[in-house]
Amino acid sequence: MSAEIVAFRRPSRTAVPDALVLAIAELRALIALDSVMGASPVRPYFVLNPAACAMVGACVTRPSGGPGAADAYALVAYDFPFALHSLDSMMERGIPPERAREIVLLSAELQQETLRRAASALGIAAQAVEVVDARALKLTFFPKTQETVVHVFRLSLARS
């Protein structure tokens, strides 16, 4: 794994509320413990930096139809080649390639509800973003990996 240091401009809006930052840290811990999203091809990323949120906001559409950034996002990335390799090595007998692809796609799709339910359990509202430029997100955040962004969520504290 390699890392790249990215410099962000100073935030032009207020910082993410401490309560949301703490709740997202707990969400990340819960997901890491979950066997469905633990050591797997699923990789959840939480975006709280205002400049990075603006970069995500440029790749998604608000429910009202226009672009715009939220205070925090969750990006669920999926490593499809790794998933296919893992599935193949788990099977005692080979699985037809087409069926393996179907299972891997199903696994990627299931992650949306998994993240939403985990967030809800911790008092975080995770609103799925329906219109996403996945290619732009890939080029912006994961240009040198096999990961593909499969789900994007706007995160906020749930209203009681």
Overall residue count recorded for the chain in this entry = 160
Mean predicted confidence (pLDDT) in 2-21: 66
Which of 125-144 are b and which e, b meaning 16 or more Cβ less than 10 Å from the residue's Cβ? Answer: ebeebeebbeeebbebbbee
Cβ contact 11:71 at 8 Å: no
Q: What is the pLDDT of residue 98?
A: 86
pLDDT band at residue 36, thresholds of 50, 70 and 90? very low
Q: What is the pLDDT of residue 65?
A: 60
Could you tell me the domains of the chain?
Answer: 18-157 (3.40.109.10)
pTM: 0.75
Separation between Cα atoms, residue 82 and residue 103, nearest integer Å:
13
Q: What is the pLDDT of residue 38?
A: 46
89 vs 107, which has greater pLDDT?
107
